[in-house]
Structure 1
Amino acid sequence: MTTTATPPHPAHDTPLSIQLLTVEGSAYGPYVALPVSPPTPYAAHLFTRATAELILHDMHRDECGIRGEFDPATGALTFTWDRHHDGTGGTETVTPDAYGRYPIGGLWAWDEWGDHVPHTAGQAAYALGAAEYRESVTTAFPDGLIELYDRGREEAHRLTLRRDEP
């Protein structure tokens, strides 16, 4: 089975609220995501190229039966899987939207990243930075964690096109 995902487009004049996700049953992420429809475990969310690359890295490390590769010419991301994943195998190609965000979903279940997910102090700092991307920085961090906090903030800004929400 081969499918091509059409990038969903949130209305450009609507507020953008991020979510923090992980692959269900894993400690990966948090992945900074932008929902484009009511969130469900298999719904597609928008991700920056950097986060899409992190998702691929984690999938390949986990040997989950799904592989992904970016086309160097077009930037499209193609997922492939064998019959052990879903009984038939297939491919799906996702292309970035006009802002370079990739709609990824449907091949595995997403879960909200939170306290129920085992995580490191670095993952928590990154998640807090992403969650507080519209706020003034007032939190003090031990050495090394402020950089992860700042990276989370920056990723959320890139994903939401640096727009502030009301």
Structure 2
Amino acid sequence: MNVPTAPEPDPAPAADGTPLSVQLFTVEGSSYGPYVGIPLYVSWIPYAAQLFTRTTAEVIVADMHRDDCGIAAEFAADGTLTFTWTADHDGDGGTFAVQPDAHGRYEIGGLWAWDAWGDHVPHTAGQAAFARGAAEYRQADDSASLPTPLDSLYAQGREEAHRVSLRHDES
């Protein structure tokens, strides 16, 4: 199955300043994700921060903990996401706290390289359905064309793309 990727980021934000185009990410060299996010830069680089919902941030943290990559993360009661890493990760070790924006989204990046999630990433049929739903979030819902449980994963991808983009319409 071809894995769709969202269009290149649109340099024109919504009236409230929110970037509009979602994109699918993975951690470089992994099969994690796809993580539905919004690039904060028109030409993003691998270590640039991307904007993610709390739901996606929780998945990123869970994947990171499974990977034993030398980075840990924890959400505080106030929603702050704090990353802690050892000297094994970067030679120094440290911490970095991310406050959610007014819409509960997190700017995550700088501690590992992002990659665009696509056909070059090993993936399951479920990941592909989720990715397709996210990439098609501005189109008619096509979940009925998919078998169970892929239809619900497609719907989850669409919903996550709508949440991170604050349901703004690019057209």
Match of 1:158 among 138, 147, 163: 163
Alignment-derived partner of residue 140 in structure 2: 136
How big is the shift at 1:137? 2.0
Does 1:53 find its partner at 2:58?
yes
Question: Hey, which bits of structure 1, 4+ residues long, moved more than 6 A?
Answer: none
Calculate percent identity across the aligned residue pairs.
65
RMSD across aligned C-alpha pairs, in angstroms?
1.5
Alignment-derived partner of residue 67 in structure 2: 62
How big is the shift at 1:142? 1.7
Letter in 1 for 2:55: A
Structure 1's 21 and 11: CA in aligned 2 closer, same or farther, altered over 3 A? farther
Structure 1's 13 and 84: CA in aligned 2 closer, same or farther, altered over 3 A? closer
On the 8 A contact 1:22/1:29 being kept in 2, the answer is yes
Structure 1's 10 and 75: CA in aligned 2 closer, same or farther, altered over 3 A? farther
On the 8 A contact 2:24/2:35 being kept in 1, the answer is yes
Question: How many matched pairs?
Answer: 157
Letter in 1 for 2:164: L
Does 1:79 find its partner at 2:83?
yes
Structure 1's 10 and 58: CA in aligned 2 closer, same or farther, altered over 3 A? farther
How big is the shift at 1:163? 1.1
Deviations 1:29-57 (A, max 9, x none): 00001011131100000000000000000
How big is the shift at 1:12? 2.0
TM-score in terms of structure 2 length:
0.88
Q: State how 1:97-116 maps to structure 2 within 5 Å.
A: 97-116=101-120
Alignment-derived partner of residue 16 in structure 1: 20
Q: Which runs of 5+ in 1 are unaligned?
A: 1-8
Measured in 2, the distance between the counterparts of 1:111 and 1:145 equals 24
Letter in 1 for 2:114: W
Q: Which runs of 5+ in 2 are unaligned?
A: 1-12
How big is the shift at 1:143? 1.7
Measured in 1, the distance between the counterparts of 2:118 and 2:27 equals 12
**SS of the counterpart of 1:46?**
strand
